[in-house]
Amino acid sequence: MLLIPAIDLKDGRCVRLRQGDMEDATVFSEDPAAMAAHWLEQGARRLHLVDLNGAAAGRPRNEPAIKAIVAAVGDRIPVQLGGGIRDLDTIERYLDDGLAFVIIGTAAVKSPGFLRDACSAFPGQVIVGLDARDGKVATDGWSKLTGHDVIDLALKFEDLGVEAVVYTDIGRDGMLSGVNIEATVRLAQAVSIPVIASGGVSSLADIEALCAVEDQGVEAAILGRALYENKLDFGEAQRLADRLGGRDDEHADLAAGDGPDSPEAP
């Protein structure tokens, strides 16, 4: 089980939201690049970035901070980014800047043709983000709830060639209330590509619960508020996940990615 620290960017700072509410943000660092270096030192094998302003605006808003983060970690670990990615030029620019993966959310739901083109142009480097409440997908920085079923969309996106799915339970995100294991497993069982769990991880018990369903296709989890509020020690959590999964750094396949254009493994 790969554990991925999250760095959510708002106005150039590292923050955490509660249930995606931009007005309910807690600032944890004025220097996101230093935070990235910290997680690298703690043993992170991948980083998850979110351009929160970009998600709301529909275009990149935190590029200077993103570039600084990539520069801070170099090519030692892959970095993935979501938020405000709505066209191929933006994807190309981000990948040229050194990002390993882009996460397409709102644009994937609203413009499946764009997702198809992205997967074709950048094979192995496109992840889809499905953010849901009660099984229905939300878009536009979680501000709009659609009638689309998570599993139905995931199956369609899998056919288009996405590398993985990041599944976020909005109701749990930033609430330290535990992972929605049942919904995450349902999704993972329905598709053959890796599912990355997001939202609600708060304790080593959550890590144990995730590791117990790793063989169902839940291959990674994104950690946020629990790390920043020191409720969970990242190094301890990853060591536990490695032990329960019977693997070590050399076998963390998803960390490096297996797509044809994926960067060198960490």
The kind and range of the H/E element at 204 are helix 204-212
Give the residue among 69, 112, 117, 110 at the shortest CA–CA distance from 90: 117
CB hemisphere CA count around 83 (13 angstroms): 24
C-alpha to C-alpha distance for 184 and 132, rounded to whole angstroms: 11
C-alpha to C-alpha distance for 2 and 221, rounded to whole angstroms: 6
C-alpha to C-alpha distance for 113 and 107, rounded to whole angstroms: 9
| Residues 44 and 4 sit within 8 Å (Cβ to Cβ) | yes
- Catalytic entry in 131, 169, 173, 242: 131
Q: What are phi and psi of 175, to 5 degrees?
A: -105, -5
C-alpha to C-alpha distance for 108 and 153, rounded to whole angstroms: 9
Using DSSP's 3-state secondary structure scheme, residue 173 falls into: coil
C-alpha to C-alpha distance for 5 and 39, rounded to whole angstroms: 7
Supply 131's token pair. Answer: 């953010």
Supply 197's token pair. Answer: 């769990």
| Residues 19 and 52 sit within 8 Å (Cβ to Cβ) | no
- Catalytic entry in 8, 51, 169, 242: 8
Active site residue 131: yes
Q: Read out DSSP for 28-65?
A: EES-HHHHHHHHHHTT-S-EEEEEHHHHHHTS---HHH
Active site residue 8: yes
Give catalytic residues, as residue numbers.
8, 131
